[in-house]
């Protein structure tokens, strides 16, 4: 008797196969993978680039998955879905880069950085990438001296 493979039990079998090959994979990570797979299969989380959902709705849905917080969801939107208007204010690199690029005495807090990104809509993801790039270029002891 051959068991019928469905999307759900096929995915579960794949996760179990990965776990059996990697004994170091923590139980928490396995639980997160299982939760993600369940939420993808039931439609809570859509991983397609063609999703018409808003960035905020996608973040809300992704953060329902065990182990996925707002920062992880924002990185997924920026780098996998290629969304152009994500402003990851909790990212230390973005905060430090913003401070260096705009010559602030210290990095803004996430609450301070939020409104500062408004003028860059709808391209805040691009500005965030420039902020990350600014850190090694403009930080004291970085490579800025060789570029000038």
Tell me the C-alpha to C-alpha distance, in Å, between residue 80 and each of 5, 27, 47, 74, 84.
Answer: 28, 25, 9, 10, 11
Please answer whether residues 67 and 35 qualify as being in contact, where contact means their C-beta atoms are separated by less than 8 angstroms: yes
The tokens for 42 are 């039931």
Strands (E), the chain: none
Question: String of b and e for 77-95 (b: at least 16 CB within 10 Å)?
Answer: bbeebebebbbbbebebbb
What Rg value do the Cα atoms of the chain yield, rounded?
20
Catalytic residue among 16, 27, 91, 105: 91
Helix/strand/coil for 44: coil
85 given a catalytic annotation: no
List the catalytic residues. 91
């Amino acid at each position: 008797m051959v068991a019928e493979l469905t999307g759900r039990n096929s995915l579960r079998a794949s996760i179990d196969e990965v776990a059996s090959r990697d004994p170091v994979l923590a139980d928490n990570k396995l639980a997160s993978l299982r939760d993600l797979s369940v939420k993808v299969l039931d439609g809570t989380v859509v991983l397609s680039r063609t999703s018409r959902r808003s960035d905020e709705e996608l973040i809300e849905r992704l953060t329902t998955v065990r182990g996925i917080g707002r920062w992880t969801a924002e990185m997924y939107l920026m780098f996998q879905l290629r969304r152009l208007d994500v402003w990851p204010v909790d990212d230390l690199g973005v905060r430090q880069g913003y401070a260096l690029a705009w010559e602030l005495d210290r990095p803004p807090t996430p609450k301070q950085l939020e409104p500062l990104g408004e003028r860059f809509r709808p391209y805040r993801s691009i500005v965030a990438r420039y902020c990350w790039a600014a850190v090694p270029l403009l930080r004291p002891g970085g490579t800025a001296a060789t570029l000038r």
